[in-house]
Amino acid sequence: MIHNTYVDRTVVHEGEVSHVSFNGGPGGVRAVATERERSYERETHVEATSEQRTHEHTAASDRSNFASENHGRPANPAMSHVGARAENRQDRIANGVRSGQLTPGETSHLESREANINHEVKNDRAANGGKLTPEEREHVNQQRNNVSKSIYNDKHNGATQPGANSEVGQRQRNQQQRIANGIDSGKMNASEAAKTEKNEQHINRQVAADRKANGGKLTPSEKKQVNKEQNKTSKEIHHDKRNG
């Protein structure tokens, strides 16, 4: 059997109690900075770069970073690496497509802008030995900040992908899920996603016009035409996700 024994060795002598203060009070411990510690105060402190100030301003103005909006999960955390920010933005677009908050038209427009930025970055790197100058990096970040705001606005403007209450609608939703998965995994680049979503936007417009002309329904021939176009888009998605 094990016994734990606690011994109190405190001895109190009346009139000889010593009160030691550790907070700088009378009789306390006096702490003085060493010469090495004082040298740190005299070091040259570099101010925040223009890129860091841009990130700070964007984070403060983007409501998706507010705790009341994101519940502790910011959609656009501060990043300094251009590639990392691009990946983060693609994740946000994919989530918007998957949830239906981004319509094909909105996604096509956003991805076209992303494709243009990617093309610009590629050209700038090629001209500078694989790197971006501080000015180029700042310009890219400003463009991405603008796209980030557009993503937030598009996801909260009330426009959504058409529902899946019909055979045609369900297929449209399935196509959007496949596109979202391709964007999220990186198997579809921004240019491919923009082109595919432009095709989906065209189909959606065609379906809306046909329904309006036929009391909200599609004729058998119209359904056949829509499925034919969706088959074509489906093959493009399959090809884009496997072309490396």
pLDDT digits (tens, 9 = 90+) for 103-116: 999 999 999 999 99
For range 42-54, the mean pLDDT:
54
* Dist. CA 221–CA 199, nearest whole Å: 20
Name the more confident of 237 and 63: 237
Q: Is 232 among the domain residues?
A: yes
Q: Of the given ranges (61-70, 170-179, 221-230), which has the lowest mean pLDDT?
A: 61-70
- Among 157, 159, 60, 152, smallest CA distance to 103 is for 159
Name the least confident of 37-51, 152-166, 194-208, 211-225. 37-51
31 vs 207 pLDDT, higher one: 207
**Please, what is the average pLDDT of the chain?**
78
Give the max Cα distance, the chain. Answer: 105
pLDDT for 31: 62
Full-model pTM: 0.62
Categorize the per-residue pLDDT at 24 as very low, low, confident or very high, splitting at 50, 70 and 90. low
Helix axes of 167-185 and 190-213: crossing angle, nearest 10 degrees = 170
Nearest CA to 178 out of 191, 165, 197, 155 is that of: 197
Lowest mean pLDDT among 21-25, 26-30, 188-192, 200-204: 21-25
Q: How far is CA 94 from the centre of its chain?
A: 10
pLDDT at residue 75 is higher than 90 = no
User: In the chain, pLDDT over 90 holds for what percent of residues?
Assistant: 37
Interatomic CA distance for residues 208 and 146, integer angstroms: 31
d(CA 82, CA 59): 16
Tokens at 85, concatenated: 């920010």
CB atoms within 10 A of CB 178: 18
Residue 234 included in any domain: yes
Q: Is residue 126 included in any domain, yes or no?
A: yes
In a domain, 24, yes or no: no
| Residue 2 within any structural domain of the chain | no
| DSSP classification of residue 218 | -
> Two tokens at 233?
């888009």
In a domain, 13, yes or no: no
Structure tokens given for 146:
């603008």
What pLDDT was estimated at residue 208?
87
Number of domains making up the chain: 1
Domain range for 105 is 50-240
Does a structural domain hold residue 112?
A: yes
Q: What is the mean pLDDT of residues 89-96?
A: 91
**Three-state SS annotation for 8-37:** CCCCCCCCCCCCCCCCCCCCCCCCCCCHHH
Give the model's confidence band at 123: pLDDT under 50 very low, under 70 low, under 90 confident, else very high: very high
1 occurs within a structural domain = no
Token pair 């598009």 in the structure block, residue: 154
In the prediction, which pLDDT does 110 show?
A: 95
